[in-house]
Chain A
């Protein structure tokens, strides 16, 4: 199983036969288009729908009064805690106020432009940084807002060398190629939903609660997601809206968000402003670590990432203190985006570590090695597995780090300045329950069914591999069916949790099948069935972390995380400030790697994604309009091929049987962590400029 496995879903995707939500049969469906607020705050005082209603093809225009009564529901599973159509108070620009239903999508979209809204009490939107920092509350607060041990103030006072600096990260948008899309169809009190979601389970639970029907009355299909990155994790307003519109009109309704709506109705990664203080002895041992963050958030929901979280387990320090606050602003609700928490947070910590290394005159790899903890530095609990040192050493070796001249601006290639920088990476390891059903027929053919959706990461290949490994059969004998809420539930394809949970569940199902057959791995399955006098065998497998529900990395007396090191070479044109990443080496410890081919793809994508965070991605919040300015992929730029140099990805041996039954941990988000700090550190090495604000743009580096 350690060879690369190709994806069983590949041919379907390549030939266009893989069905995405918007591909569902819509011959009798109404097309829906949303009308959204154009101001960031104030009140909606009037809504004029007559022109839209009179437009060709329009069947109906729904406003709040037309919606059926909906049940109460919390965040999560909702992404934003307001009813799906606004009645009065405006929370942000781009919030739905009406739904136009027409025979065709073009008609609906055109008529949506004819709805006129009136507003009162609109004031300029307060930009991030100018509102009060407050302690967040509620279901969208990820973890503790304050954690500490020891006396940081004393530790800083006792330090031989200390650094304190403030770092900022930008608002960023995931905007996958496939926009959010939902087709809702009612049959009596049975709802069928085709929706592009990262969890059919969340969608099912949310719609059942909202419409007051039992969950088994709601069937959600989503075999494939055309990219999610977090923006399809929670249930956003258009999903219940499509279902409500279908209920009201008695016809199926298809609602596809426009690209612009993807920038206000599906979350984003909020901007952060972080301050890190590090104290160390002259031989580079930390005496104190303080990491605080102020994060942009919306008026409602209090979405709050645990930005400094990684700082609580990364390095041995007698005193550690972290805190996170939010600013409630008139802007769309944020949501997790690859990679939340540690993604923005490790930019600050790993930049500060580089600053400290520079102050100490010490090699930055060596500084990290000197602060490797034996046990979780915050809790004193053991690590389930921690191979950071191996990652650092192997990364340095593969990169050729020993050739680095530490002097600033000392490495050149002709006219270009060369910078070598590095950072450590880590992600928390949240885990969640999963299940699978396995069926073997008399020919020995195996089918595995699970509620998981294939989001582009290659999960069907993983399921195939685990089933085949456990049963001892060729992977080609295993077919995988997925993305239907009638299949055994899988929590969701998010948080880098799927391989651990689903892989463990598939293994349990396969083991149970062997047990029922009294067979050993590798026994021909057809023969085993015949011997047992069966024509078909079915087994179910379930897996959940201790406690049975979703957990975070620190559970069951262990500290469970993934680790990595990232080394980059940047080239800076000293006249033009042009920055390019010519090479990157990433070495990761993420538990047992089940499918090296898919894992490598994940990390290449992650490093590229991290380059975007470092150098390109920034959703400009336009203060005069009180909204994100460029709600499209022309104004919001992500990396293209030409930006990305050579990427070398490898994994160190790791096998974490505490984290999961199959030794795996999640790696989907790890690759994007640390890249921005490594690039900023390399830029410092090349130019002597310490850029603490992401993205690092040309104008930061112009002479």
Chain B
């Protein structure tokens, strides 16, 4: 057993200062991902600073009509919040499609966003993995990569980000609030996550010691008509092969505005901007949805064994948009 220290954070500032000052320290949410990594030897922090009891457990309205989700709000609480369910159903659906009831009851919002890839090599310290040990190589590239990326990968890493919540937040254009020793900053979630390039050890742009305190959702009225669709081998309790978060605003058969993000396809939740552009002003038809999906996926570079994800992503986009637009038109 590798010994480590445990501290329960008293307040944000000291938590941030403590972790920043100690290179081997890490924040601890509910530990549903980090503690697994401790057991597997994937992570070996010498100090855990437990931030799960900091006073960020509120879901509050924001001045501009948006909503602020505190970093320690539990996934279950967030999923059933009446405001979230009514105004941002895709967030609720994404959460409920993930993990299990027991896990969601404890997992925190920030921990969910910061969870790490489920690439089997990453989780196995006996294998080379650039994300876990920079420079050691990527075992998945020529190995087992059915579940891996088709968009935005590099030869250094082809892993995908596992969070469902993050896909919905990416579609919504949420903004992550962060505290660091140098002060607070706001990071649009689309910029929080990185593509692997040649440094896959960094999932996000956060500096060591920077603490997520909240996630802000924009007002975005069209999100009331939104959903999350997750495709996987097992009906429940499995990560996405492909997922789609979508919101759409249709008027008299024409798409006025639309948001689409994909999960399970890239190192980060993938905002489908090309598809969105293609759809704005287009008719709300299967053909238009398919053309938009194909425009987005034109850049896909599947690996040897995951080419199926390209048609799967296309069809899931089409099916999700169809479902949203076939609902009663206002």
Q: State whether A577 and B120 are in contact (beta carbons under 8 Å apart), knowing that A625-B127, A642-B236 are contacts in the complex.
A: no
Is there an interface contact between B120 and A635, defined as CB atoms closer than 8 Å? yes
- CB < 8 Å neighbour of A698 from B2, B142, B237, B308: B308
* B315 adjacent to A639 (CB under 8 Å): no
On chain A, the residues within 8 Å of B63 by CB distance are none
Q: How far is the CA of A660 from the CA of B126 in the complex (A)?
A: 51
Q: Is A643 an interface residue (CB 8 A)?
A: yes
Min C-beta distance of B132 to chain A, whole Å = 15
Among residues 615 to 646 in chain A, which have CB atoms less than 8 Å away from a CB atom of chain B? 615-616, 620, 622-625, 629-630, 634-635, 637, 639-643
Asked whether, in the complex, the Cβ of B143 is within 8 Å of the Cβ of A703, the reply is: no
Bound state CA distance, A616 and B238, in angstroms?
11
Chain A residues within an 8 Å CB radius of B118: 634
* List of A residues within 8 angstroms of B237 by Cβ: 640, 642
Complex interface: chain A residues within 8 A of B319 (CB): 573, 575-576
Which residue in chain B gives the minimum CB-CB distance to A638? B234
The complex places the Cα of A107 from the Cα of B308 at a distance, in Å, of 45
Q: Which residues of the other chain, A, contact B316 by a CB distance below 8 angstroms?
A: 575-576
Q: Which residues of B have CB within 8 Å of A131?
A: none
Which residues in chain A, 567-588, are within 8 Å of chain B measured between CB atoms?
573, 575-578, 580
CB-based contact A639/B234 at 8 Å: yes
A620 to B144, CA, bound (A): 8
Q: Which B residues are in CB contact (< 8 Å) with A281?
A: none
A703→B315 CA distance, assembly (Å): 9
B231 contacts the other chain (CB 8 A): yes
Contact between B311 and A703, CB atoms less than 8 A apart:
yes
Contacts of A637 in B (CB 8 A): 233-234, 238
- Cα-based distance from A616 to B232 in the complex (angstroms): 11
Residues of chain B lying within 8 A (CB to CB) of residue A699 = 146, 308, 312
Residue of A nearest to B2 (CB): A110
User: Does A641 lie within 8 Å of B142, measured CB to CB?
Assistant: no
B231 near A106 with CB under 8 A, answer no
Contact B1 A106 (CB under 8 A): yes
Give CA–CA (A110, B139) in the complex, Å. 25
Tell whether, in the assembled complex, residue B142 and residue A576 are in contact, meaning their CB atoms are under 8 Å apart: no
On chain B, the residues within 8 Å of A576 by CB distance are 231, 312, 315-316, 319
The answer to the question of A38 belonging to the interface, with a C-beta cut-off of 8 Å to chain B, is yes
B143 adjacent to A615 (CB under 8 Å): no
Given A637-B234, A640-B236: A113 in contact with B143 (beta carbons within 8 A)? no
Give the most central of B144, B231, B233, B312: most A CB within 10 Å: B233
Are A113 and B41 in contact (CB-based, < 8 A)? yes
Nearest CB of chain B from residue A216's CB, rounded to whole Å: 40
Contacts of B312 in A (CB 8 A): 576-577, 698-699, 702
Binary per-residue interface labels of chain B (229-252) against chain A in the complex, 1 for a CB within 8 Å, 0 otherwise? 001111111100100000000000
A325 CB–B CB distance under 8 Å: no
- Would you call B16 an interface residue if the criterion is a C-beta within 8 Å of the partner chain's C-beta atoms? no
Give the CA-CA distance A285 to B9 in the complex, in Å.
77
Taking A109-B1, A625-B127, A702-B312 as contacts, is the C-beta distance between A578 and B120 under 8 angstroms?
Answer: no
Contact in complex: A697, B315 (CB < 8 Å): no
Q: Choose among B41, B143, B234 the residue that contacts A616 (Cβ–Cβ < 8 A).
A: B234
Query: What's the minimum C-beta distance from B195 to chain A, rounded to whole angstroms?
Result: 25
Report the bound CA distance from A623 to B144 in whole Å. Answer: 9
The answer to whether A107 and B1 touch (CB under 8 A), given A625-B139, A637-B234, is: yes
> In the complex, what's the smallest C-beta–C-beta distance from B147 to chain A, in angstroms?
9
Do B315 and A575 touch (CB < 8 A)? Answer: yes
- Complex CA gap A575/B318 in Å reads 9
Q: Which residues of B contact A639 (CB under 8 A)?
A: 234
Name the interface size band of chain A. 35 or more
Set of chain B residues within 8 Å of A625, measured between Cβ atoms: 127, 139, 143
Chain A, residues 593-622, CB within 8 Å of chain B (1/0): the string is 000000000000000000000011000101
A697–B233 touching, CB < 8 Å: yes
| Chain A residues in 8 Å Cβ range of B142 | 624
Within 8 A of B (CB), among A669-702: 697-699, 702
Question: Which partner residue on chain A sits nearest B1 by CB separation?
Answer: A106
Taking the closest CB of chain A, its distance from the CB of B246, in whole angstroms, is: 15
Q: Which residues of B contact A577 (CB under 8 A)?
A: 312
Which B residues touch A697, using CB under 8 A? 233
Are A615 and B233 CB-contacts (below 8 A) given A38-B126, A575-B318? yes
> Which B residue's beta carbon lies closest to that of A578?
B231
**Cα A106 to Cα B139 with chains together (Å):** 29
Q: Which A-chain residue is minimally distant from B147 (CB atoms)?
A: A635
Q: Mark B52-88, 1 if CB is under 8 A from A, else 0.
A: 0000000000000000000000000000000000000
**A624 with B235: in contact, given A576-B312, A634-B118, A703-B311 (CB under 8 Å)?**
no
- Chain A residues near B143: list those with CB within 8 A: 622-625, 629
How distant is A34 from chain B, measured CB to nearest CB, in Å? 14
Nearest Cβ in chain A — how far from B285, in angstroms? Answer: 15
Q: A702 touching B315 by the CB < 8 A rule?
A: yes
Q: How far is the CB of B160 from chain A (nearest CB, A)?
A: 14
CA distance A107 to B3 in the complex (A): 11
Give a binary string over A340-382; 1 marks a CB under 8 Å from any B CB, 0 the rest: 0000000000000000000000000000000000000000000
Q: Which residue of A lies closest to B306 (CB)?
A: A699
**Residue-wise interface mask of B (67-111) relative to A, using a CB-CB cutoff of 8 A (1 in contact, 0 not):** 000000000000000000000000000000000000000000000
Considering the complex, give the chain A residue whose CB is closest to the CB of B39. Answer: A109
Q: Whole-angstrom distance from the CB of B114 to the nearest CB of chain A?
A: 19
Take A640-B237, A698-B233 as given contacts and tell me if A629 and B144 are in contact as well, using a CB distance cutoff of 8 Å.
yes
How far is A458 from B181 in the complex, measured between Cα atoms in Å? Answer: 61
Minimum distance in angstroms from A103 CB to a CB of chain B: 12
Which residues of B194-239 are within 8 A (CB) of A? 231-238
Does the CB pair B236–A643 fall under 8 Å? yes
User: In whole angstroms, what is the CA distance A622 to B233 when docked?
Assistant: 20
Contacts of A104 in B (CB 8 A): 1
Please determine whether A698 and B231 come into contact, CB atoms closer than 8 angstroms. yes
CA distance A113 to B44 in the complex (A): 14
Q: Which of A276-321 contact B (CB under 8 A)?
A: none
* Residues of chain B lying within 8 A (CB to CB) of residue A630: 120
A635 and B120 CA atoms in complex are apart in Å by: 7
A47 CA to B231 CA, complexed, in Å: 46
Measured CA separation A698–B2 after assembly (Å): 41
How far, in whole Å, are A578 and B235 apart by their CA atoms in the complex? 9
**Residue of B with least CB distance to A631:** B124
Cross-chain contact A616 with B236 (CB below 8 angstroms)? no
- Shortest Cβ distance from B238 into A: residue: A637
* Closest chain B residue to A695, Cβ basis: B233
Contacts of A113 in B (CB 8 A): 41
B46 CB, nearest partner CB in chain A, Å = 15
When chains A and B are docked, how far (Å) is the Cα of A606 from the Cα of B139?
36
CB distance from B174 to the nearest CB of A (A): 27
21 contacts between A and B (CB under 8 A): A106-B1, A107-B1, A110-B2, A576-B315, A615-B233, A616-B234, A622-B143, A622-B144, A625-B139, A629-B120, A630-B120, A634-B118, A637-B233, A642-B234, A643-B235, A643-B236, A697-B233, A698-B233, A698-B308, A699-B146, A702-B312
Given contact pairs A573-B319, A624-B139, A699-B146, enumerate 15 new A-B contacts (beta carbons under 8 Å). A38-B126, A107-B1, A110-B1, A575-B318, A577-B312, A578-B231, A615-B233, A616-B234, A622-B144, A624-B143, A625-B143, A629-B143, A639-B234, A642-B237, A698-B308
A-B CB proximity, top 3 nearest:
A699-B308, A642-B236, A642-B235
